[in-house]
Every structure is written in C-alpha cells, then in structure tokens.
Amino acid sequence: MLAISLSSCASAAFVGNLTIVMTDWILLYRIFSGALLVLTRVIIPISSLPAPLAAFSRVLPLTHGLVAFRSAFDGAGPQTQWPFLLMELAVAAGYAILGLAGFYLVERFAKRRGIVETAA
C-alpha cells in the first residue's frame, strides 16, 4: 500500500504541475485517470493490450503495485512481491524527479508569462 501511495502521489505531483499553465486542467486529469484505469491492469490485463500500450503501462503508477497487491491476496510470499514493489518504488522515484523538474520549468514559464504572482 505504501509503494502504491507513493507512486500515485508522485504521479499526481507530476501531472499537477501542468494545472499552473493550463486553463482546462480537468480534461488533463480525466485523460490521466482514464489511462491509469485502462493501462494498469485495473480493468484490462496488460497481455490483452497492443505492445506499445503494454510497454507504456510499465511506467505508469499502480501497474507493479497492483501485481504485488493481488499476489498478496492470493497467498504469495514476500519473495515474489519484492520485485514488483521495488519496481513500483522506482516508478515513484521517476515521477518524483520528473515532478520536481517539471515544477521548476512550469514555475519559470509562469513567472515569465505573468500567470502566477510571485511572493516577495
């Protein structure tokens, strides 16, 4: 649960950066939420997806965490769950890095355009 929460929060921070510069951010939120539902084994198994979408799903949050979560309910031991949990934490770290870098870029863009006020 911790790995899934971390990757979800990090991806939300990454996508949330765009709300600073987008006026219709609800559309972006819906697209990202839909992609998470469709491409992370929540609804459709990854084996049923075309190869490019299956590859893309491996870098989305929840994908690896859900495998570990489901295997825990099936009675699998920690030895089989650790690789998936580590991959989920790697995805979380990647989104955290992208989110932080994106924040600095979006903040610089917003300041240049005068979109947000800066604190004195």
Listed in sequence order, the DSSP H helices in the chain are: 2-16, 25-39, 51-57, 63-73, 78-113
* pLDDT single digits (tens) 89-109: 999 999 999 999 999 998 888
Res 116: pLDDT = 63
Long-range contacts of 37-46, Cβ-Cβ distance < 8 Å, separation of 24 or more? 39/63, 40/66, 41/66, 41/67, 42/66
pLDDT confidence tier of residue 16, bands split at 50, 70 and 90: confident
Asked if the model's pLDDT at residue 113 lies above 60, the reply is yes
- Mean pLDDT for 24-45 is 84
Percent of the chain topping pLDDT 90? 22
DSSP letter assigned to residue 114: T
Specify the pTM: 0.80
Residues in contact with 68: Cβ distance below 8 Å, sequence separation at least 6, in sequence order: 3, 81, 84, 85, 88
Three-state secondary structure call for residue 94: helix
Residues in contact with 19: Cβ distance below 8 Å, sequence separation at least 6, in sequence order: 25, 28
